[in-house]
Amino acid sequence: MASERTELDSAELLKKLRLAIANQPEEVPDGWKTTLQWSQIWNISPNAAGIILSQSVRIGKMESRKFRVITGNRGAYPTIHYRQTQ
């Protein structure tokens, strides 16, 4: 009689782990906002906000970090958020 398989092979395990991680949104800490959120606060286009934010990160006035958040019909997806540096 063959023994029962109790462990997943490595490819199956990796696939299941990635799926579990991909579906878990993260809580975004206070102060972190997306490009769209900053554009609405500043009353400018998202494109203009993106340019300002990327240049601000380069000079050290803002910092960026990806958080996995729910985005439309894509589920939880890594999205860049920005906050002012201290």
For the cut 80, the answer to whether the pLDDT of residue 68 exceeds it is yes
The total number of structural domains in the chain stands at: 1
Give me the domain span that covers residue 35.
31-84
pLDDT digits (tens, 9 = 90+) for 10-65: 888 888 887 777 677 889 999 999 999 999 999 999 999 999 999 999 999 999 99
CATH value at residue 57? 1.10.10
Q: How far apart are CA 76 and CA 60, in angstroms?
A: 28
**17 part of a folded domain:** no
38 and 53 in contact (C-beta within 8 Å)?
yes
60 and 85 in contact (C-beta within 8 Å)?
yes
**53 part of a folded domain:** yes
**68 part of a folded domain:** yes
**40 part of a folded domain:** yes
